[in-house]
Amino acid sequence: MVTDLGNYLHISPGTDIPRVVNAIVEIPKGRRSKFEVDKETGLFRLDRYLYSSSHYPGDYGFIPQSLAEDNDPLDILVMVNEATFTGCLIEARIVGLFRMRDRGANDFKVLGVPHRDPLFDEFQDLGDVPAHYLREVEHFFLTYKQLEGVAIESLGWGPAAEATAEVRASVDRYREKGQVKD
């Protein structure tokens, strides 16, 4: 079966790849409901209410026209001071990479900030991000599937250069493979 991201296929991966990307928000910051794009209809669907009593530490979604190692678009977490909404496009500057494994497979998350927001002007690389925020994000991803019995392993944080390499590889992979196929 051929699956795709429906309405999101035509959206460019970003205005200055690999440093500035388009993030399509699925789950706004502070939410516990896991919304995701339904690959068959292109609509946002409620996948589940997280089993763990925790909430997303930033706006969370994906970079269109990218393909990560898990055969899904590359995941992105955007630090925001105010949650946006499901379906919102954020022009995000990449500052770091959280490397984790979900059931033994790489499932990396790039970390971004709103590119044109002056409150984030000083956020250019991982070292500019408050250390405690990085601990929060790591703790969230290590525990959010715990009550589902899913093992997540942290491989730690990488700097912006590693994150942009991941963006580049994922955009190239998408261009090579075309659409996502099951």
Which residues lie near Mg ion (CB under 5 A)? Answer: 70, 72, 75, 107
- In terms of CB distance, is 38 or 72 closer to Mg ion? 72
> 158 forms bridges with which residues in the sheet?
97
> How many other CB atoms are there within 10 angstroms of residue 14's CB atom?
24
Helices (H), the chain: 131-143, 160-177
Smallest distance, Å, CB 68 to Mg ion?
6
- In terms of CB distance, is 9 or 131 closer to Mg ion? 9
With beta carbons less than 8 A apart as the criterion, state whether 97 and 109 touch.
Answer: yes
The residue written with tokens 């580049």 in the block is 168
Smallest distance, Å, CB 74 to Mg ion?
7
Q: Are strands 89-102 and 44-49 parallel, antiparallel or unpaired?
A: unpaired
- In terms of CB distance, is 107 or 166 closer to Mg ion? 107
Smallest distance, Å, CB 73 to Mg ion?
8
- In terms of CB distance, is 70 or 117 closer to Mg ion? 70
Query: Residue 164: which of 50, 101, 76, 86 has the closest Cα?
Result: 76
Smallest distance, Å, CB 124 to Mg ion?
25
